């Protein structure tokens, strides 16, 4: 049972490039979410999904897109990378959403130069 | 803006001592959760306490919740070096919102 798997672990982008951060879970969780973690800022919610085909915005959605075509996968797309998007990105899932514990991946460390 | 805010931001104690961290939040909640993050890793869930509960235990962890004061505390008893980590509270006002965390250092 792998839990929540994020790829890649590290990524360096140039300003203006686009990329997709991958997140997959094998626990059949309905709820999935993306957070970014910056020093001194804690975790900030980017986007979340309560089930396949359903997504919604979090606190800091600008510059990011998501889709949820399957229960297992919840990719995060950076449309045109900016240095302000340099951060550590975490994907998390839970069975039912906000009222149950989140299971986190180990993160993707992204640097935009 | 963040819903939960932890206090203190950093805490250094000796192994065997107790560590207490506090969390304050702004709006009504259904539950409050505590997580631990070891350096370079994802967060790990510790305890979930519901708004109608006042205290919850899990091993060496004790969490209290005071909804009238909109605050919670996490007590780690008989701390160990392995407890060195950052601790975050998260509230579910609408979406699960995390505070900035308390960095705990337990010195051997």
Residue A38: closest CA among A4, A75, A85, A70: A85
- In this predicted structure, the answer to whether residue B2 has a pLDDT above a threshold of 60 is no
- Would you say A10 and A65 are in contact if contact means Cβ atoms under 8 Å apart? no
What is the pLDDT averaged over residues A26-40?
A: 92
* Interchain CB distance below 8 Å, A105 and B2: no
A19, two tokens: 């990329």
Distance from C-alpha of B106 to C-alpha of B86, rounded to nearest angstrom: 11
- pLDDT value at residue B96: 74
Total beta-carbon pairs less than 8 A apart between chain A and chain B:
57
Measured distance between the N- and C-terminal CA atoms of chain A, rounded to whole angstroms: 36
Measured between beta carbons, the chain A residues lying within 8 angstroms of B99 are 42
pLDDT at res. B1: 45
From the list A33, A42, A90, which residue is nearest B2 (CB)? A42
B96 touching A, CB under 8 A? yes
Alpha helices (runs of H) in chain A, residue ranges in sequence order: none
Contacts of B59 (CB under 8 A, 6+ apart): none
The string of pLDDT tens digits covering residues A42-99 is: 889 999 999 999 999 998 999 999 999 999 999 999 999 999 999 999 999 999 877 7
Residue B94 is predicted with a pLDDT of 55
CB contact under 8 A, A45 and B95: yes
Residue-wise pLDDT for B53-99, tens only, equals 999 999 999 999 999 999 999 999 999 999 999 999 998 755 777 88
Rg (CA), chain B: 13
Cβ contact B33–A101 (<8 Å): yes
In 3D space, the residue among A87, A99, A2, A94 whose CA is nearest the CA of residue A46 turns out to be A87
Q: What is the average per-residue pLDDT within B40-56?
A: 94
Give me the mean pLDDT over the B4-25 stretch: 92
Q: pLDDT band at A18, cuts 50/70/90?
A: very high
The reply to whether B39 touches chain A by the CB within 8 Å rule is: no
By the CB < 8 Å criterion, does A49 face chain B? no
Res B40 pLDDT > 90? no
Instruction: Locate B105 and state its tokens.
Output: 């250092």
């Amino acid at each position: 049972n792998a839990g929540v798997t994020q790829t890649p672990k590290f990524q360096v982008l140039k300003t203006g490039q686009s990329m997709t951060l991958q997140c997959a879970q094998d626990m059949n969780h309905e709820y999935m979410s993306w957070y970014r973690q910056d020093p001194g800022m804690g975790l900030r919610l980017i986007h979340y999904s309560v089930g396949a085909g359903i997504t919604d915005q979090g606190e800091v959605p600008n510059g990011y897109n998501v889709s949820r075509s399957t229960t297992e996968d919840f990719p995060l797309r950076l449309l045109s990378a900016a240095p302000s998007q340099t951060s550590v990105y975490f994907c998390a899932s839970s069975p039912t959403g906000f009222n149950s514990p989140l299971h986190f991946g180990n993160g993707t460390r992204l640097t935009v130069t | 803006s963040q819903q939960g805010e932890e206090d203190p931001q950093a805490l250094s104690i000796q192994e065997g001592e107790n560590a207490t961290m506090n969390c304050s939040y702004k709006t009504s909640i259904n539950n409050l959760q505590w997580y631990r993050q070891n350096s370079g890793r994802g967060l790990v869930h510790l305890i979930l306490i519901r708004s109608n509960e006042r205290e919850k235990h899990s091993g060496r962890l004790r969490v209290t919740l005071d909804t009238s004061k909109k605050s919670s505390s996490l007590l780690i008893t008989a701390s160990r070096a392995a407890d060195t980590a950052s601790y975050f509270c998260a509230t579910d006002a609408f979406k699960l919102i995390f505070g900035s965390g308390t960095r705990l250092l337990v010195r051997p």
